[in-house]
Amino acid sequence: MRKETGLFVLLVVVCAMTAIKSHNFLSIENLINESRLIGMFGIFSIGLGMVIITGGIDLSVGSMFALLGVVLTMLLNPADKTWPWPFAMMNGRFWPWPVAVMVTLGLGSFLGTFHGFLITRVKLQPFIVTLCGLLFYRGMARYIASDDAKGFEDAKGFEALKEFTKGNLFGVPMPFVMLVVLTIVMWVVLHRSVYGRHLFAVGRNEEAARYSGINTKRIVASTYILSGFLAAISGILFAFDTNSVAPSMTGNFYELYGIAAAVLGGCSLRGGEGSILGIILGTILLQVLQNLVNLLGIPSSLNFAVMGAVILSGVLADQLITNRGRTVRPKTGG
């Protein structure tokens, strides 16, 4: 809990400094926009955090946004004979939006299942599996879309879906509302369930967890499935937020934002450590820093420099805390 407390204090300080530097930070319009971004980034960051707790990594999330976004737009728009199979089969028609959403969520879960299979059954390294996914999914998105941006046009036939993803609940953007709900659910799952205890045990020592009777393969695979499912939810929200999907650009480097949020929130890249609250606080802090860069007119080219510095700071802090814990010895009587 000390990490979360320290991160919260840091967040308050950064917010205060940002508010002093720019009065626009506390404007209603800016706060609504920030909460929308926090919701979209926070949802998939939770999935990445769960993967990291097991000692794994998922680099494919950004490319999944492009692929899933392209699939969603093509399912919701009238099909053309020039489109690749199976989209061309719906020539001149479009899929009902509930079916299109379920297909998109199912595809995200399937890709996560595929990652889990390769990592737990074929024994491939998570870094290699998800790096290949990053390249493959981006390439497939560009091929399916013929490297053209795909949009939702006038949203005919799925107005309710667009209104839901871009709407508000009592003035609060729906992505943020969805994040709050998922945060509560995942907090219970991670911190108040047997599954959560098994997850931390696998992350701390997978071999010891296996000898204690935990099905480590199932636990590890489940986190990649969850990551894919949450990435699909975020992918739908991102697609409607921009109202179009550019297969070569959508989601570029977004996985780094998720990893940075998780690491900054206390998830150790060695595995076995982390919390849902920390991941959310890390997401908020990253978005506030991005907002600070924009409000102060700092060149956007420094965004990645800021993110790199944040990741390095989180890893350094984690290493220093670990080293300090190893050097502290209990006092003995004598």
**What SS3 class is residue 59?**
coil
Of 15-19, 136-140, 298-302, the least confident: 298-302
Which two tokens mark 193?
Answer: 């369930």
What per-residue confidence (pLDDT) applies to 221?
Answer: 96
CA distances, 126 to each of 20, 224, 318 (Å): 43, 10, 21
pLDDT band with cut points at 50, 70 and 90 for residue 333: very low
Q: Is residue 196 part of a domain?
A: yes
State residue 186's pLDDT score: 96
Entry pTM: 0.89
Is the per-residue pLDDT at 157 higher than 90?
no
220 belongs to a structural domain: yes
Domain total of the chain: 1
Tell me the C-alpha to C-alpha distance, in Å, between residue 209 and each of 41, 200, 206, 216, 220: 31, 9, 5, 7, 12
Residue 101 covered by a domain:
yes
**In this predicted structure, what is the pLDDT of residue 13?**
86
Residue 32 lies in a domain: yes
Residue 203: predicted pLDDT:
93
Domain coverage including residue 104:
24-321
How many other C-beta atoms are found inside a 10 Å radius of the C-beta of residue 189? 15
Percent of the chain surpassing pLDDT 90: 52
Task: Please say whether the beta carbons of 260 and 52 come within 8 A.
Answer: no
Query: Each residue of 195-211: pLDDT tens digit?
Result: 999 999 999 999 999 99
**60 - beta bridge partners?**
none
CA gap 194, 190 in Å, rounded:
8
- Residue 307 has a pLDDT of 67
The residue whose two tokens read 């059954």 is 121
Report yes or no: 262 and 279 within 8 Å, Cβ to Cβ.
yes
Question: Is residue 14 assigned to a domain?
Answer: no
CATH code for the domain in which residue 268 is found: 1.10.3470
Averaged over 268-290, what is the pLDDT? Answer: 90
If you average pLDDT over every residue of the chain, what do you get? 86
Would the pLDDT of 334 be above 70?
no
Burial of 156 (0-12, 13-18, 19+ CB in 10 A): exposed
Q: 55-114: per-residue pLDDT in tens?
A: 999 999 999 999 999 999 888 876 555 555 555 555 555 678 899 899 999 999 999 999
Query: How high is the pLDDT of residue 244?
Result: 87
Kindly state the average pLDDT of the residues 131-152.
91
Longest dimension (CA), the chain: 86
With CA atoms as reference, report the closest residue to 107 among 69, 51, 68.
Answer: 68
Instruction: Flag whether 332 is in a domain.
Output: no
Q: 202 lies in a domain?
A: yes
Continuous H helices in 54-154: 61-76, 97-120, 126-144
Instruction: Report if residue 18 sits inside a domain.
Output: no
229 band by pLDDT with thresholds 50, 70 and 90 = very high
